[in-house]
Amino acid sequence: VTLLAMLVFSAVGCNGGGSYFYKNKSDEFIFKYGDYSVTKNFYTYWMASYKAGLMYQYSDIDDTDTFWNSAYGNSTANEVYTSNADSIIKNYLMSLYLFDFYKLSLSQSKAAQVEKQLSELVADGYDGNIANLNKEAYEYGINYDMLREIYLAEAKTEAVYDYVLTNVVNSKLTDE
């Protein structure tokens, strides 16, 4: 198992433009909200991450057609888990919208943490060569720059959750 594949197993987990996620890029998109969209590449990565996470978390199931086509209530396992993953991916999309709506920004330490995570990934898993990472990432339909956008989107999602919990939910809580 390669390092990027291990990242996909463990996934689901600096401000600026040029995002592959939103602001109506010309790439094909899967989900859209106003000017914000999730491209096919990012959707594919997050879906693979979600499903790989299931395989990692539940060691008693196998990534086979038999499992994915098996009955799960009135649906198949694939339909149920795809629906769950779609909800998570839509949350990323809405979080990116809310990040801009609330005019949030990532702290310098959070942006540095994302950059450090990427640097360590390249140094430890790809002999310090981004081209080596890009060769493997191509399987997932992404590259180093897109992976950076994924990490930043996940950090922005955390920032939105923190903001909403601190400033919206807590302001409405009472002890009555």
pTM of the model: 0.76
**Whole-number Å distance between alpha carbons of 56 and 175:** 41
Percentages (nearest 5) of helix, strand, coil residues in the chain: 65, 10, 30
> Is the CB of residue 85 less than 8 Å from the CB of residue 77?
no
**Whole-number Å distance between alpha carbons of 84 and 95:** 17
Classify residue 175 by burial, with Cβ atoms within 10 Å: 0-12, 13-18, 19+.
Answer: exposed
Torsion of CA 93, 96, 101, 106, to 10 degrees: 170
- Which amino acid would we find at residue 100? D
The chain-wide mean pLDDT, for the chain, equals 81
pLDDT at 13 over 50: no
Residue that wins the pLDDT comparison between 9 and 149: 149
**Whole-number Å distance between alpha carbons of 50 and 56:** 10
Question: What's the mean pLDDT in 13-38?
Answer: 58
**Whole-number Å distance between alpha carbons of 125 and 110:** 22
121-133 CB burial, b ≥16 within 10 A, e <16: bbeebbeeebebb
pLDDT on residue 24: 43
pLDDT band at 10 (very low <50, low <70, confident <90, very high): very low
pLDDT on residue 15: 29
Task: Say what percent of the chain tops pLDDT 70.
Answer: 80
Task: Say what percent of the chain tops pLDDT 90.
Answer: 44
SS3 22: strand
Question: What's the mean pLDDT in 1-29?
Answer: 42
